[in-house]
Structure 1
Amino acid sequence: MRKRADFLAANGGLRTTTPGFILLIRDRKDADTSMRVGFTVTKKIGGAVIRNRMKRRFRALAREIVPTKGLAGADHIMIGRAKGVERDFGLLRSELASALDRLRP
């Protein structure tokens, strides 16, 4: 996802917080069953190198977990938090899986 309007619309959906990130999920309520994923990491987290590293980690997590545990026909947004930069990747993986389970209707 790249459009600002999609990110703003997801802000009105389901939300859960973990130490490494905030997960937003919004059901698009259309016939398309594809799962879309977006990432946001603000400048408060760090410089460009740190933000890009965090987004790469989020992309790897999303490729691995969202196809199996994500909600069909929904937008999934991961917002980076300061503790997510140095957090262990295995821990982030388990946090994303449990966050998706918590938000499942």
Structure 2
Amino acid sequence: MLPAAHRLVDSDAFRVAVRSGRRCGSRNLVVHLDLQAPGDPARVGFVVSKAVGNAVVRNRVKRRLRHLTREHLPALAVLPGSAVLVVRALPASSRATSVELDADLRRCLTRVMS
């Protein structure tokens, strides 16, 4: 579970990160990263639509992504400004293994952070 300070729950922050941030897509995920004013900790939000599957499948995908992104919080903390990361799961993510999701997440994070 992500600590409360690192959860992105504000719909306006989601919208700003998706519209103005950097984006990288893969087979299973789309990652949006927006750097905002410094001071706040890095925050992470997830978008898992009904196209991914039923509620059980969507929650499983969210749990797996939450676990994987927790490992990347220290890297987001060293970025200039406050990082807002939005991870959008694509329908293929319901069939992907944790190793595949991790590889896609790492690749996309590397691209949006450079």
Q: TM-score, normalization: structure 1? A: 0.89
1:18 to 26, 33, 37: 26
Structure 1: which 5+ runs fail to align?
none
1:89 aligns with 2:95: no
String of CA shifts for 1:41-92, please: whole Å, max 9, x gaps.
011222111111110011011112x224336321011001011111111121
Residue number in structure 2 paired with 1:46: 53
Root mean square deviation of aligned Cα: 1.4
Residue-pair matches, total? 103
Residue number in structure 2 paired with 1:69: 75
Structure 2 contact 33–85 (Cα < 8 Å) conserved: yes
What is the rounded CA distance, in whole Å, between the counterparts of 1:24 and 1:43 in structure 2?
A: 20
Deviates more, 1:53-62 or 1:41-50: 41-50
Structure 2 contact 32–112 (Cα < 8 Å) conserved: no
What is the rounded CA distance, in whole Å, between the counterparts of 2:104 and 2:87 in structure 1?
A: 12
AA paired with 1:69? A
- Identity over aligned residues, as a percent? 27
1:78 aligns with 2:87: yes
What is the rounded CA distance, in whole Å, between the counterparts of 2:38 and 2:112 in structure 1?
A: 21
